[in-house]
């Protein structure tokens, strides 16, 4: 305290021309911004857009994004409601790329007993991009992007857009979940899902439907043993992690649901958070980047204080 | 075959004005480029810059980069030569960030029996960036970067540079290895090393010395259970993966060394590889990115055919 008082005294003595040299209060850290956030900076997960995937070691929570993938979200709700994934497995873990789960039979060369998809659809129109809509929130990031004319966040999801074509699409950042497909664009109905576990594979953007994001339990999918077959598929059935069950939160009683909130991305608090990561104020950083990549922006999730 | 013959016939009938519509041979895939590569497109690892870290589940091979971190490379050689890491452990695995190893005592609140670093140095001048040198190869990538004015590859390592300041530095891409430090810039002598296991944390660039890259065995570091303490440190000693030994390849007999080659990044073959990843020619890709991020470029490594 004493030295800053002294500095202020010196500056006053040197006159107003040096006012910009007044020692500034250090910029807040991300944690300080989160600590100072208001309840309205957060939103609860919508149970109708929230999946719980229970694995032997714990639960993965996935938030679906019906704004960008409404048809896929609806099909995935149906699949979860009808217990499609129960007893299926994690089939593929490719280092620095994706973890993928679904029906082992669907990946077999000669499938003999593929699990029925019940009343879900087998084909869905591609949802690789959609029209820009002024009603869809979009917080633009200031530092540009290698892959797209503009990037930012829409309802908590990393996204890109091209004002020239009026199109917008979700971006393949870490923890984003997509619907695997074969060569046909409509062949990914959401039965086989994948999550990004490495450097953002942005070349997949606009080629495949992203449907949501892992908001809890990511380490249960990222720390799995890598598959040794082609594309990281497990070569033996015994290597696969079984899926105990996948449920839609709205199919559970309210008391049985997770009570998570995500930070809204259309708030001044989020803009302050981005700034705190563009220019880290902790003493460790000798060189502040002054920039941030879309997929380096943290998207905080917390337990709500009460239901 | 028939339909393409027909298409060619139609084009000929329509005249030369449509010549650009003649179906082109599809661009080669990365695998086709590698299959067609010449022996001179590859270089063997220099045993004096190659570390073998043996873990209970296998071997990690790290290539040091003496062009960007000569002092750290020299200290790390000394540490390996004197068996510093033997019996130490992997201390930290933070999801989507880094895996870190070294002396558990060095991270303890009240260290009682820190391992001696022998004749290695305790402090090293920071090697966070270096001058651009025309003799240092640098293959520029064409698509820009969020963090730096220019990015590319130097001797097989992802790097960035700023022609205005005449500085260049290694980039924190997946699998890059750095020397952890405390707040003092000279406090990272290479005793505690980390490797990037998630989205490239480019905010670390120019803040800490990158010393090399994992060229084999990355999955032994990326698939470890995440630590549950602050910053991903393991909370119990029993959770740590022990390091059996770390050796410099040149300290082993030639017959005992790994026989790996890395693709040179200063060749037309590498430029063709980058192009094959900017515009994927496989039928699955409906939308070609036409761009690539520095940390999305694969850096192939192979077993040499003979010694």
pLDDT (tens digit per residue) in A240-273:
999 999 999 999 999 999 999 999 999 999 999 9
Higher pLDDT, A14 or A240: A240
- Contacts of B89 by beta carbon, 8 Å cutoff, 6+ apart: B101, B102, B104, B237, B240, B241, B242, B243
Q: How confident is the model at residue A14 (pLDDT cuts 50, 70, 90)?
A: very low
Reply yes or no on whether the pLDDT at B3 is more than 50.
Answer: no
Q: Which residue from A255, A251, A177, A189 is spatially nearest to A217, judged by alpha carbons? A: A177
Given CB atoms, is B228 within the 8 Å cutoff of chain A? no
A6 pLDDT more than 60: no
Q: Are A75 and A186 in contact (CB under 8 A)?
A: no
Chain B nearest CA to A81, separation (Å): 31
Residue A10: pLDDT over 60: no
Phi and psi dihedrals of A25, rounded to 5?
A: -60, 135
**Which of chain B's residues have a Cβ under 8 Å away from the Cβ of A95?**
218-219, 222-223
What is the structure's pLDDT at A109?
Answer: 77
Task: Give the model's pLDDT for residue A23.
Answer: 56
Asked if residues A179 and A190 have their Cβ atoms less than 8 Å apart, the reply is yes
Residues making up chain A, counted from first to last:
307
- Going by C-alpha positions, the residue among B86, B114, B127 that lies closest to residue B248 is B86
Confidence class for position A107, pLDDT limits 50, 70, 90: confident
Give the DSSP letter of residue A229.
S
Under a CB-based contact definition with an 8 Å cutoff, are residues B276 and B33 in contact? yes
Residue A73 corresponds to which tokens in the numbers above?
């979200």
Q: Which residue has the higher pLDDT, B233 or A26?
A: B233
Q: What is the pLDDT of residue A87?
A: 98
Residue A40 to residue B60: CA distance in whole angstroms: 47
Three-class DSSP category at A219: helix
Condensed to tens digits (0 to 9), the pLDDT of residues A68-84 reads 999 999 999 999 999 99
**Other residues' Cβ atoms within 10 Å of the Cβ of residue A274:** 21
Q: Phi/psi zone of residue B175: left (φ > 0), alpha (ψ -120 to 50 degrees), beta?
A: left
What region does A92 belong to: left with phi over 0, alpha with psi -120 to 50, or beta? Answer: beta
Residue linked to tokens 């890491």: B85
Residues of chain A contacting B287 with CB distance shorter than 8 Å: 128, 205-207
3-class state of residue A139 by DSSP: strand
| pLDDT given for residue B8 in this prediction | 33
How far apart CA A159 and CA A164 sit, in angstroms, is 16
B283 contacts in chain A (CB < 8 Å): 183
The answer, for A128 touching chain B at a CB cutoff of 8 Å, is yes
- Span B111-120, mean pLDDT? 92
**Residue A176 and residue A181: Cα distance in Å, rounded?**
16
Task: Work out the pLDDT band at B20, boundaries 50, 70, 90.
Answer: very low
Nearest CA in chain A to B94: A219
Provide the mean pLDDT of chain B: 92
A144 near B CB under 8 A: yes
Do B102 and B191 meet the contact criterion of CB atoms below 8 Å apart? yes
B284 neighbourhood in chain A, CB within 8 Å:
183, 207
Model confidence pLDDT, tens digit, residues B73-87: 999 999 999 999 999
SS (H, E, C) chain B: CHHHHHHHHHHHHHCHHHHHHCCCCCCCCHHHHHHCCCHHHEEECCHHHEEEEEECCEEEEEEECCCCCHHHHHHHHHHHHCCCCCCCEEEEECCCCEEEEECHHHHCCCCCCCCCCCCCCCCCCCCCCEECCCCCCCEECCCCCCCCCEEEEECCEEEEEECCCCEEEECCCCCEEEECCCCCCCCCCCCCEEEECCCCCHHHCCCCEEEEEEEECCHHHHCCCCCCCHHHECCCHHHCEECCEEEEHHHCCHHHCCCEEEECCCCHHHHHHHHHHHCCCCCCCCCCCCCCCHHHCCCCEEECCCC
Among candidates B183, B280, B289 on the partner chain, residue whose Cβ is nearest the Cβ of A283: B183
- Select the residue of A200, A218, A291 nearest B95 (Cβ to Cβ): A218
What order do you get walking across the sheet with A260-263 strand by strand?
Answer: A42-44, A260-263, A301-303
pLDDT, mean over chain A: 92
Query: Residue B10 pLDDT more than 80?
Result: no
Q: Cβ(B132)–Cβ(B163) under 8 Å? A: yes
Interface mutation vs chain A, best among B284, B294, B297, B298, most A CBs within 10 Å: B284
The first and second tokens of residue B51, run together, are 């570390």
Tell me if A146 and B292 make a contact (CB, 8 A cut-off).
Answer: yes
Specify whether the CB–CB gap between A199 and A193 falls below 8 A.
no
- Pick from A188, A156, A219: nearest CA to B96: A219
Sign, Cα dihedral of B224, B228, B232, B237? negative
In 3D space, the residue among A211, A189, A254 whose CA is nearest the CA of residue A49 turns out to be A211
In Å, how far is A287's CA from the nearest CA of chain B? 6
| Mean pLDDT, residues A176-189 taken together | 96
Could A147 and B295 be called an inter-chain contact, meaning their C-beta atoms sit closer than 8 Å? no
pLDDT for res B22: 52
Is the CB of residue A213 less than 8 Å from the CB of residue A157? yes
Is the confidence at residue B208, as pLDDT, over 70?
yes
A225 and B223 within 8 Å at the Cβ level: the answer is yes
Is pLDDT of A19 > 50? no
Say what the pLDDT of residue B26 is.
77
Residues in contact with A173: Cβ distance below 8 Å, sequence separation at least 6, in sequence order: A158, A196, A200, A294, A295, B199
Tell me what percent of the residues of chain A surpass a pLDDT of 90.
87
Q: What percent of chain B has pLDDT over 90?
A: 87
Q: Report the C-alpha gap between B151 and B170 in whole angstroms.
A: 9
Distance CA B10, CA B146 (A): 46
Q: State mean pLDDT over A290-300.
A: 98
Q: Which of A33-47, A100-114, A122-136, B230-244 comes out lowest in average pLDDT?
A: A100-114
pLDDT score for A306? 63
pLDDT above 90 for B205? yes
Q: Which of B31, B146, B178, B210 to mutate to test the interface with A (most CBs of A within 10 A)?
A: B146
CA A273 to chain centre: 17
Q: Looking at the complex, does the CB of residue B277 fall below 8 Å from at least one CB of chain A?
A: yes
What are the structure tokens assigned to A157, written together?
């999801």
- Mean pLDDT is lowest, of A63-67, B111-115, B165-169, for B111-115
pLDDT recorded at residue A249: 98
Q: Which residues of B touch A199 (CB under 8 A)?
A: 173-174, 198-200, 293, 295-296
Which pTM value belongs to this model? 0.92
């Amino acid at each position: 305290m004493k030295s800053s008082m002294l500095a202020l005294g010196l500056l006053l003595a040197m006159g107003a021309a040096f006012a910009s040299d007044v020692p500034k209060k250090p910029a807040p850290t991300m944690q300080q911004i989160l600590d100072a956030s208001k309840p309205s900076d957060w939103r609860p997960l919508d149970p109708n857009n929230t999946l719980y995937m229970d694995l032997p070691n714990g639960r993965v929570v996935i938030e679906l994004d019906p704004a960008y993938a409404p048809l896929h979200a609806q099909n995935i709700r149906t699949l979860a409601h009808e217990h499609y994934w129960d007893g299926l497995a994690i089939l593929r873990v490719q280092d620095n790329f994706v973890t993928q789960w679904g029906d082992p039979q669907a990946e077999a060369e000669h499938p003999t007993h593929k699990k029925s998809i019940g009343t879900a659809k087998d084909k869905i129109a591609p949802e690789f991009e959609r029209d820009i809509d002024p009603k869809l929130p979009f917080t633009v990031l200031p530092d540009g992007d290698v892959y797209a004319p503009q990037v930012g966040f829409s309802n908590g999801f990393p996204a890109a857009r091209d004002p020239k074509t009026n199109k917008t699409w979700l971006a393949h950042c870490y923890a984003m979940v997509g619907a695997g497909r074969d060569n046909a664009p409509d062949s990914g109905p959401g039965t086989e899902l994948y999550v990004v576990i490495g450097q953002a594979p942005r070349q997949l953007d606009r080629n495949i439907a992203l449907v949501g994001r892992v908001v809890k339990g990511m380490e249960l999918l990222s720390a799995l043993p890598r598959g040794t077959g082609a594309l990281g598929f497990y070569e033996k059935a015994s290597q696969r992690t079984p899926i105990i069950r996948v449920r839609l939160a709205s199919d559970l009683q309210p008391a049985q649901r997770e009570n998570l909130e995500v930070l809204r991305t259309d708030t001044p608090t989020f803009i302050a958070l981005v700034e705190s990561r563009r220019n880290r104020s902790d003493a460790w950083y000798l060189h502040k980047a002054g920039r941030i990549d879309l997929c380096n922006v943290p998207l905080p999730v917390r337990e709500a204080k009460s239901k």
